[in-house]
Amino acid sequence: MPARQSKQAQVLKELQEQSRLYARKATLLSNLLEQAEHFLSEMPGKVAINTQSDYENYELSFLKTARSWRLMLEFREDGELKSVPVTQASILQKAEAAKRLPELYRLLQVRLTDGQAEIDRGLQSLQELPFLDLEDADHSNESDVVEEGAVDDIPF
């Protein structure tokens, strides 16, 4: 009987070690995703962006919710489309979001670069209008940055 107890104790010890390792990695993953969301939400010029949903029906998005800019994970569950903030997702859903974050970051870089080029073309077109004063209209500072999708008065 003592050998059986010893084997059970060994199994329990191994299970506890696996549980500790799982908890440590889960905490690290959660902390890094919170850090990523905070970093993205602190950008002065934000744009909504999402990955393609070609990975097992998961899609990662960075978008404005009712109160703030969030990383959101969209997925199908029981045939129904669901959306959950990454920071509130289950740990396995967080792992799915983490796998997509590098792609989201690359897409965001492209979107910002392409968006700047498009804005530059629009500004160049406006320079042709003699009744507009671009220098007077340029009050660039952090509080004047307009987020994509936000409604703001045009200073013309």
Distance CA 34, CA 20 (A): 21
* DSSP secondary structure of 106-129: HHHHHHHHHHHHHHHHHHHHHHT-
**Overall average pLDDT of the 73-86 stretch:** 90
Report pLDDT for 154: 34
What mean pLDDT value characterizes the chain? 85
Structure tokens at 84: 């959950």
Query: Could you read off the pLDDT of 110-134 as tens digits, one per residue?
Result: 999 999 999 999 999 998 899 998 8
Cβ pair 127, 119 in contact under 8 A: no
What are the residue ranges spanned by the domains of the chain?
A: 2-128
Lowest mean pLDDT among 77-86, 98-107, 114-123, 146-155: 146-155
Report pLDDT for 3: 67
93 closest CA partner among 17, 33, 49 = 33
> What is the 8-class DSSP label of residue 22?
H
Report pLDDT for 142: 43
pLDDT at 152 over 50: no
Report pLDDT for 147: 53
pLDDT at 145 over 90: no
Tell me the CA distances in angstroms from 72 to 49, 87, 126, one per residue in order: 10, 8, 36
Report pLDDT for 133: 87
Residue 64 phi/psi, 5° resolution? -85, 125
Distance CA 84, CA 113 (A): 28
Angle at alpha carbon of residue 50, lines to 107 and 87, rounded to 5°: 115
Query: Could you read off the pLDDT of 4-31 as tens digits, one per residue?
Result: 779 999 999 999 999 999 999 999 999 9
As a three-state string, the secondary structure of 70-102 is: EEEEEEEECCEEEEEEHHHCCHHHHHHHHHHHH
* Residue 140 confidence class, pLDDT cut points 50, 70, 90: low
